[in-house]
């Protein structure tokens, strides 16, 4: 799917959702490698792990995107998640059901904002680093969600009504976390620049215990790629 994305985006304009995490950074590297004109969008939703915003800025600068927009959109006003409220981030692994780190409708909101920028910029390509294999069970990371949003994009926009065809590119959708690490290595991503932890320590380290840290470490181990991450404790 990654190679298909490289072909589809060549000489096009793409709005890439860039959180600063490993998955979104891999998407950014793929988009720039394809020769696309890249507009990188980072949402500052007042997340607990705001350290990822600095990672996003550094990555955007490293890859020389045409424009990097950090858009404030305070989802703490809604609450409903351990990432935007006072709920504790789970540290003993994720149990059954959707975890409390799920942010209500986050990817729907983010893609809607990306769609608005894309239409204003005359672009029809969006990219997001969702993954449906090694993930935490979030409903907005599934293929059905991506397909549904594509349909919405083509119904809800002036460009879509006039015949444009929007595409949501998800090159990592069917990869394991190990597969994502390998893809990142293949495109030369400096994975030490990325940030995954949901609950950083006061010393600025990955906690090593949250689900995101566990998945990150698992990916590097299974891929056989050295992990550059500094963890406060071993996941």
**What's the pLDDT tens digit per position in 65-82?**
999 999 999 999 999 999
| pLDDT of 136 strictly over 80 | no
Band (93; pLDDT cuts 50, 70, 90): confident
pTM of the predicted structure, to 2 decimals: 0.95
pLDDT at 94: 66
| pLDDT of 235 strictly over 80 | no
Band (3; pLDDT cuts 50, 70, 90): low
Q: Give the residue among 144, 131, 116, 140 at the shortest CA–CA distance from 170.
A: 131
**What is the pLDDT averaged over residues 144-173?**
97
| pLDDT of 6 strictly over 70 | no
pLDDT at 2: 64
| Domains within the chain, CATH numbers bracketed | 2-198 (3.40.50.620)
Write the DSSP string, the chain: -HHHHHHHHTTSEEEEE--SSHHHHHHHHHHHHTT-EEEEEEEE---TTTHHHHHHHHHHHHHT-SEEEEEE--GGGT--STTTSSSPPP-S---SSS-TTPPTTHHHHHHHHHHHHHHHHT--EEE----SSSS---GGGSHHHHHHHHHHHHHHSHHHHTT---EEE-TTTT--HHHHHHHHHHTT--GGG----SS--TTS-B-S-SHHHHHHHHHHHHHT------BSS--
pLDDT at 47: 96
Q: What are the phi and psi torsion angles at 60 (to 5°)?
A: -60, -40
- Tens of pLDDT, residue by residue over 98-116, are 999 999 999 999 999 999 9
- Token pair belonging to 207: 């906690």
């Amino acid at each position: 799917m990654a190679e298909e994305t490289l072909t589809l985006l060549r000489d096009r304009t793409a709005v890439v959702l860039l959180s600063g995490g490993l998955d979104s950074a891999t998407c950014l590297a793929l988009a720039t490698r394809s020769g696309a004109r890249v507009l990188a969008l980072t949402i500052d939703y007042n997340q607990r792990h705001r350290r990822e915003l600095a990672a996003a800025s550094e990555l955007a600068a490293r890859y020389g995107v045409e424009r990097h927009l950090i858009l404030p959109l305070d989802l703490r006003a809604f609450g409903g998640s351990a990432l935007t409220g006072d709920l504790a981030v789970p540290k003993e692994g994720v149990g059954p059901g959707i975890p409390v780190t799920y942010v209500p409708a986050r990817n729907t909101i983010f893609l809607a904002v990306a769609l608005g920028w894309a239409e204003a910029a005359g672009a029809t390509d969006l990219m997001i680093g969702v993954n449906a294999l090694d993930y935490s069970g979030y409903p907005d990371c599934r293929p059905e969600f991506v397909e549904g949003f594509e349909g919405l994009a083509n119904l809800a926009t002036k460009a879509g009504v006039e015949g444009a065809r929007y595409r949501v590119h998800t090159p990592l959708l069917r990869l394991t976390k190990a597969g994502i690490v390998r893809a990142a290595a293949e495109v030369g991503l400096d994975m030490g620049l990325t940030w995954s932890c949901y609950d950083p320590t006061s010393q600025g380290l990955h906690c090593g215990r949250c689900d995101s840290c566990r998945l990150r470490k698992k990916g590097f181990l299974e891929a056989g790629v050295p992990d550059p991450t500094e963890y406060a404790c071993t996941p």
